[in-house]
Amino acid sequence: MNDDSFTKITPEIRSLAQKCKSNSKINVSLYEKYEVKRGLRDLNGRGVLTGLTEISEIKSYDTDEEGNQIPCEGKLFYRGYDVEEIIDGFYKEGRFGFEEVTYLLMFGTMPTALELKDFNALLGYYRSIPPNFVRDIIMKAPSHDIMNAIARSVLMLYSYDDKADALNISNVVRQSLQLISELPLLAVYSYQAYKHYHMGGSLIIHEPKPELSTAENILHLLRSDSKYTELEAKILDIALVLHAEHGGGNNSTFTTHVVTSSGTDTYSTIVASLGSLKGPKHGGANIKVVQMFNEIKENVSDWNDEAELSAHLDSILQKKAFDKTGLIYGMGHAVYSLSDPRANVFKGFVKRLSVEKGREKEFELYSNVERIASKLIAKERKIYKGVSANVDFYSGFVYSMLDLPTELYTPIFAVARISGWCSHRIEELINAGKIIRPAYRNVQDRREYVDIFDREVTD
């Protein structure tokens, strides 16, 4: 039997797939008839309230005297603190902020200088994986998809934990801190295994350094010479901070709550969240942005010619260019209206990095597309809440300037977001809610059972 025989789409499989399509299509009008909140959103696109949290808040509207919601500049708060102020604070003082934000998200307070020092030491202590894990788990059957490789490794770590199923908070905190520390290693080592076995690249494995920050360790582990500039590490750190948490309603964090509510273990919960984040509608958007800009560069001769750039962006909107979906990737957000605060914060740092890397012209292209696209989209489509660049618009550009391979874009997102996932898991356990079980209404009519020998033959 050939190796590809298991993945071959046979006529029998095609026939069964057609039965799925024919017999599983639900009439769209029924969603309106039964007032189904598809995607757990109301008619205005706002999320349906399914829980309470103290971990983070997204603000995209103000309320006037009559109680009407008015779009406003976006704000993101971690435990009540404005993320822009948090970043401004640690950046001015020359600190790395991801570890500080992780402490805040998980434990609900800003750490003191001594608490942060001890916390960093604890993360540094946990920043290792079991002996021979790289050889026996990561290097065997390396996956071309790094998110899947990470998920497999996380599940395997369950086997190394003699208290894997214990749900007391002390144990879950311990597991969470270990996974937060280990995920950068799992991501980078999985990529290096893939590159070595599938692309013929050199295999260079560096040991993590406990005294380095998460951002520094990523660059240290990934680069063959382990060298990086201070600005590179600081901007990657800010990217991790901005991606660490985003309200309890985003798909992967909601997955964390749903799976945690079933009473399962930490490793299974994080793997479920990784599976959610892997989806291109969630964690893979920045890859699409980079691909779109590569297509723009190939088809627009003068990046500062507004007419030429507008014409091509309009072609993308009209489903004539790029991937013909009609989407200008990186523009718009499910929650934010006038602006995404993460994009606003990021943009200034991106400009500095573009100067260091000699890629100012590309930064100007991004700025031009951001400005023109918002006008085109608003003109072309009825946008009830405004459209602006989201964090994915610039993050892919940053990662490309940091020479991060595209295979690691979504894993880096996971390295950051696991802090939020673990915080929400602990919050769900502490508040001991019911198992999350939303309702689905059956719309299949009753049918009379017919004996198998009396059924009609169908194509």
- Residues with catalytic annotation? 333, 392
Cα(227)–Cα(229) distance, integer angstroms: 7
Contact 415, 187 (CB under 8 A): yes
For 211, counting Cβ atoms within 10 Å of its Cβ (0-12 exposed, 13-18 middle, 19+ buried), the class is exposed
Cα(293)–Cα(365) distance, integer angstroms: 9
Same fold, 75-282+408-430 and 285-401: no
Contact 196, 76 (CB under 8 A): no
Q: What are phi and psi of 400, to 5 degrees?
A: -70, -35
Q: How many residues does the chain have?
A: 459
Cα(294)–Cα(303) distance, integer angstroms: 12
Lowest mean pLDDT of 13-27, 132-146, 206-220, 333-347, name the range: 333-347
pLDDT 10s digits, 314-350:
999 999 999 999 999 988 777 777 778 888 888 889 9
As a CATH number, domain 75-282+408-430 is 1.10.580.10
Question: How far is residue 115 from each of residues 28, 100, 112, 335, 401, measured CA to CA in Å?
Answer: 54, 10, 5, 34, 34
Report the 10 Å Cβ neighbour count for 229.
13
Residue with tokens 């017919």, as numbered in its chain: 450
pLDDT 10s digits, 76-127:
999 999 999 999 999 999 999 999 999 999 999 999 999 999 999 999 999 9
Q: Rounded mean pLDDT of the chain?
A: 91
What's the CATH architecture for 285-401? Orthogonal Bundle (1.10)
Supply the pLDDT for residue 6: 82
Contact 106, 176 (CB under 8 A): yes
Supply the pLDDT for residue 204: 81
User: What does the domain layout of the chain look like in residue ranges?
Assistant: 75-282+408-430, 285-401
Cα(291)–Cα(170) distance, integer angstroms: 44
Average pLDDT over residues 152-167: 97
- Name the H helices within 79-134: 83-92, 98-107, 113-126, 133
Report the 10 Å Cβ neighbour count for 281.
9
Question: How far is residue 57 from each of residues 83, 214, 394, measured CA to CA in Å?
Answer: 10, 24, 22
Cα(216)–Cα(205) distance, integer angstroms: 15
> Which residues lie across from 62 on neighbouring strands?
70
| pLDDT over 90 percentage in the chain | 71
Cα(379)–Cα(373) distance, integer angstroms: 10
Note the pTM of the prediction, 2 decimals.
0.92
Report the 10 Å Cβ neighbour count for 38.
9
Question: How far is residue 225 from each of residues 54, 172, 201, 204, 219, measured CA to CA in Å?
Answer: 42, 36, 15, 10, 10
